[in-house]
């Protein structure tokens, strides 16, 4: 299997490249810049600006891939202007999906939990029910989340137009072994004074994102489908419903959460992809950082 991976030198993309190359796939990694030490990987790397149709189509179609994993994007609001965030993510998604479709390649790509609308809202709000699943209404009110909503629609279009499989993964906040972001957030957390969290203190270990990508690539699926990727529990080590009720002042009328269970359910991925999260902050915070040798310095 030949796989093109975009965003290949980023935090999640680099680990996807490493995993697939180690598993014997022929991997072509595409990013704005080639890594400083590409020979540290079994993959081939190309520089390309995916917002440029010609570059995107050539990078993908020349590789004659069986599948494309699209993780290139501006990853959140506030990095550049709102217009640039939206236009970059939408144009790159369109070019990649169209190129993949013309090449007859299935696609797995990174959407986001922010697509529901609460994560980057000026005032985070409660969902209609908990835990949130893939069928919950999507109400984005920021350019990043809206770009992911458009991306999912483009994925559905590509699946219909070209007869390929497109799987949209909605990861939660991606964390990495050995880092202390969850620990720091947990240590300063006080439910009586805490600010509202639009993702309800949910996260996912990058290794579980990688394993979901592999499961999606190996799945026999038709058309377009979506799957949430989240850890089994919140990163606070507290009962999720109790925390949400204290911080928000209420709970949705329908709330079926037990203990520290994640506010985003991955039941669909378990049932249809045979995937489940295998990593927890409890172990990951104590582990040594593990990064691909070709990872860019800010990844």
CA distances from 105 to 72, 216, 227, 265, 269 (A): 17, 13, 19, 29, 22
Query: 139 lies in a domain?
Result: yes
Give the DSSP H or E segment for 73.
none
| Whether the Cβ atoms of residue 173 and residue 206 lie closer than 8 Å to each other | no
User: What pLDDT is recorded for position 291?
Assistant: 85
User: What pLDDT is recorded for position 298?
Assistant: 65
Query: 92 lies in a domain?
Result: yes
Residue that has been written with the tokens 């069986």 in this structure: 66
Could you give the 3-state DSSP secondary structure of residue 17? helix
Query: 268 lies in a domain?
Result: yes
- Domains contained in the chain, number: 1
**Distance, CA of 152 to CA of 147 (rounded, Å):** 9
Query: 159 lies in a domain?
Result: yes
Query: 294 lies in a domain?
Result: no
By the 10 Å C-beta count (0-12 exposed, 13-18 middle, 19+ buried), 263 is classed as buried
User: What pLDDT is recorded for position 299?
Assistant: 60
Query: 299 lies in a domain?
Result: no
All residues at 6 or more sequence positions from 135 whose CB lies less than 8 Å from its CB, including other chains: none
Query: 140 lies in a domain?
Result: yes
Domain that holds residue 178: 2-284
| pLDDT by position in tens, the chain (length 299) | 999 999 999 999 999 999 999 999 999 999 999 988 777 788 999 999 999 999 999 999 999 999 999 999 999 999 999 999 999 999 999 999 999 999 999 999 999 999 999 999 999 999 999 999 999 999 999 999 999 999 999 999 999 999 999 999 999 999 999 999 999 999 999 999 999 999 999 999 999 999 999 999 999 999 999 999 999 999 999 999 999 999 999 999 999 999 999 999 999 999 999 999 999 999 999 999 988 878 776 66
Query: 208 lies in a domain?
Result: yes
CATH number at residue 32: 3.40.50.720
């Amino acid at each position: 299997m030949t796989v093109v991976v975009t965003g290949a030198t980023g935090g999640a993309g680099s680990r996807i490249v490493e995993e697939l190359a180690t598993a014997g796939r022929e991997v072509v990694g595409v990013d704005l810049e080639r890594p400083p030490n590409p020979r540290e990987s079994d993959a081939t790397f190309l520089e390309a600006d995916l917002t440029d149709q010609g570059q995107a189509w050539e990078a993908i179609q020349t590789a004659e891939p069986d599948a494309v994993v699209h993780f290139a994007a501006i990853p959140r609001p506030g990095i550049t202007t709102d217009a640039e965030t939206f236009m970059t993510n939408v144009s790159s998604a369109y070019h990649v999906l169209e190129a993949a479709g013309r090449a007859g390649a299935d696609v797995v790509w990174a959407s986001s939990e922010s697509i529901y609308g609460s994560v980057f809202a000026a005032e985070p709000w409660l969902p209609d029910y908990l835990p949130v699943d893939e069928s919950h209404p999507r109400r984005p009110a920021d350019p990043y989340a809206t770009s992911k909503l458009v991306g999912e629609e483009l994925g559905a279009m590509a699946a219909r137009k070209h007869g390929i499989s497109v799987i949209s993964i909605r990861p939660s906040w991606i964390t990495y072994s050995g880092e202390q972001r969850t620990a720091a957030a947990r240590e300063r957390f006080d439910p009586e004074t805490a600010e509202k969290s639009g993702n309800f203190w949910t996260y996912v270990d990058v290794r579980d994102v990688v394993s979901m990508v592999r499961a999606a690539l190996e799945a026999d699926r038709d058309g377009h489908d979506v799957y949430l990727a989240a850890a089994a529990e919140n990163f606070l080590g507290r009962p999720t419903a109790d925390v949400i009720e204290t911080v928000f002042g209420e709970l949705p009328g329908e709330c079926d959460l037990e203990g520290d269970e994640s506010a985003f359910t991955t039941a669909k991925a378990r049932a249809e992809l045979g995937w489940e999260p295998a990593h927890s902050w409890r172990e990951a915070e104590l582990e040594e950082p593990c990064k691909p040798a070709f990872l860019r310095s800010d990844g």
